[in-house]
């Protein structure tokens, strides 16, 4: 029995929003490359998702939650198992909190841009640093996304998660081992949503800061080509992009994947790039940094799946 057949058998009889089998990730990932997932499963609500997770766990089938696929590289051989697509989980709401604060609740699939826009519309300050980050709330929490000296951990107060048995519970900020570009949550823990604590601010200043960040990103980042954002975490004391440029690798190209000429910590797909091309460039950067500087560069993007 193939993995696709095993997944279909496991999900038989369940009500699910949609299931796409042998679905190429190049159709969905921001990189526009990557092999197929055995199944891309989109549950409509928490009850459906819990039922799916329980079945997959019972059958020993691997699964991984994904959002907007902006920070994931799927190897060309594809992912063996089910990717749980949270994209439709995009509800957001604002409510009063204690001591003059406000809560902004967002489901895991909500784009960070939507969260930032809602906060600005309500004149709430605190998440402007997320302007232009292309990921979803779930991905941002999992990787503790950040920019301009702030991180998700600075504004999140609790996270709603589902375990591999389909049980849902909430974790307080203090219960999550946030660190630089990681949350410490197990890979099979599904983030369902998060609550952010914001404060009342001046609407004009909030929008001005958002515009400033947006203009900076347009100037510095290669937004005209498909990418997954920053490829490497910054090593202590130096931005990864500057290090890669100093190593003479800026603009290096393999097939249709290129280390951006605009920002050396971005790799862009200039047309028909493959995951193999990108992985080879990643290895080249890592080996050069280790040999020339004694620096171990750790990928910021999540790499999954099998070689072709």
Known catalytic residue at 151: no
Query: Average pLDDT, stretch 121-134?
Result: 95
Residue 148 lies in a domain: yes
* Boundary-marking domain end, from 52, 85, 118: 85
C-alpha to C-alpha distance for 221 and 215, rounded to whole angstroms: 10
Phi, psi of 89 (to 5 degrees): -85, 85
Q: Are residues 77 and 107 in the same domain?
A: no
Q: Are residues 181 and 124 in the same domain?
A: yes
Q: Which of 158, 181, 195, 252 is catalytic?
A: 181
Residue 216 lies in a domain: no
Known catalytic residue at 158: no
Q: Are residues 246 and 180 in the same domain?
A: no
Q: Are residues 66 and 140 in the same domain?
A: no
How far from 131 is each of 17, 110, 230, 268, CA to CA, in Å?
A: 30, 14, 15, 21
Known catalytic residue at 167: no
Q: Are residues 230 and 291 in the same domain?
A: yes
Q: How do residues 234-283 score in pLDDT, each as one tens digit?
A: 999 899 999 999 999 999 999 999 999 999 999 999 999 999 999 999 99
**Is residue 26 pLDDT above 90, yes or no?**
yes
Q: Are residues 12 and 52 in the same domain?
A: yes
Q: How do residues 73-116 score in pLDDT, each as one tens digit?
A: 999 999 999 999 998 899 999 999 999 999 999 999 999 999 99
Residue 214 lies in a domain: no
C-alpha to C-alpha distance for 66 and 68, rounded to whole angstroms: 7
Q: Are residues 124 and 188 in the same domain?
A: yes
Residue 281 lies in a domain: yes
Number of domains, the chain: 3
Q: Are residues 122 and 194 in the same domain?
A: yes
Q: How do residues 29-62 score in pLDDT, each as one tens digit?
A: 999 999 999 999 999 999 999 999 999 999 999 9
What's the CATH code of the domain at 23? 3.30.43.10
Q: Are residues 255 and 187 in the same domain?
A: no
Residue 48 lies in a domain: yes
Q: Are residues 262 and 283 in the same domain?
A: yes
* Boundary-marking domain end, from 33, 55, 85: 85
What's the CATH code of the domain at 163? 3.30.465.10
C-alpha to C-alpha distance for 297 and 233, rounded to whole angstroms: 7
Residue 289 lies in a domain: yes
Q: Which of 136, 183, 227, 230 is catalytic?
A: 230
Q: Are residues 99 and 186 in the same domain?
A: yes
**pLDDT > 70 in the chain, percent:** 100
Dihedral of CA 73/78/83/88: which sign? positive
Q: How do residues 181-191 score in pLDDT, each as one tens digit?
A: 999 898 879 99
Residue 149 lies in a domain: yes
Residue 215 lies in a domain: no
* Boundary-marking domain end, from 63, 85, 107: 85
What's the CATH code of the domain at 293? 3.90.78.10
C-alpha to C-alpha distance for 84 and 162, rounded to whole angstroms: 12
Q: Are residues 149 and 62 in the same domain?
A: no
Structural domain boundaries, residue 65: 3-85
């Amino acid at each position: 029995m193939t993995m696709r057949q095993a997944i279909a058998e496991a999900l038989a009889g369940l009500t699910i929003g949609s299931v796409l089998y042998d679905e190429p990730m190049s159709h969905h990932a921001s990189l526009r490359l990557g092999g197929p997932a055995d199944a891309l499963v989109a549950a409509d609500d928490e009850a459906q998702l819990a039922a799916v997770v329980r079945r997959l766990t019972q059958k020993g089938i691997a699964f991984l939650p994904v959002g907007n696929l902006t920070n994931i590289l799927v190897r060309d051989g594809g992912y063996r198992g089910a990717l749980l697509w949270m994209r439709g989980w995009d509800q957001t709401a604002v409510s009063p909190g204690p001591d003059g604060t406000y809560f902004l609740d967002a489901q895991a699939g909500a784009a960070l841009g939507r969260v930032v826009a809602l906060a600005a519309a309500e004149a709430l300050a605190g998440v402007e640093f997320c302007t232009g980050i292309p990921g979803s709330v779930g991905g941002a929490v999992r990787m503790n996304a950040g920019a301009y000296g702030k991180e998700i951990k600075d504004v999140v107060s609790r996270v709603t998660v589902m375990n591999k048995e389909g049980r849902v519970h909430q974790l307080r900020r203090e219960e999550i081992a946030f660190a630089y570009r990681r949350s410490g949550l197990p890979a099979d823990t599904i983030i369902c949503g998060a609550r952010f604590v914001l404060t009342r601010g001046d609407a004009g200043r909030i929008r001005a800061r958002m515009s400033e960040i947006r203009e900076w990103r347009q100037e510095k980042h290669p937004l005209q080509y498909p990418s997954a954002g920053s490829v490497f975490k910054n090593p202590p004391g130096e931005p990864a992009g500057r290090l890669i440029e100093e190593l003479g690798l800026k603009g290096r190209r393999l097939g249709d994947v290129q280390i951006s000429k605009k920002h050396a910590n971005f790799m862009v797909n200039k047309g028909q790039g493959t995951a193999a091309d990108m992985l080879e460039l990643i290895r080249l950067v890592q080996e050069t940094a280790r040999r020339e500087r004694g620096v171990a560069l750790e990928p910021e993007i999540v790499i999954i799946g099998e070689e072709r």
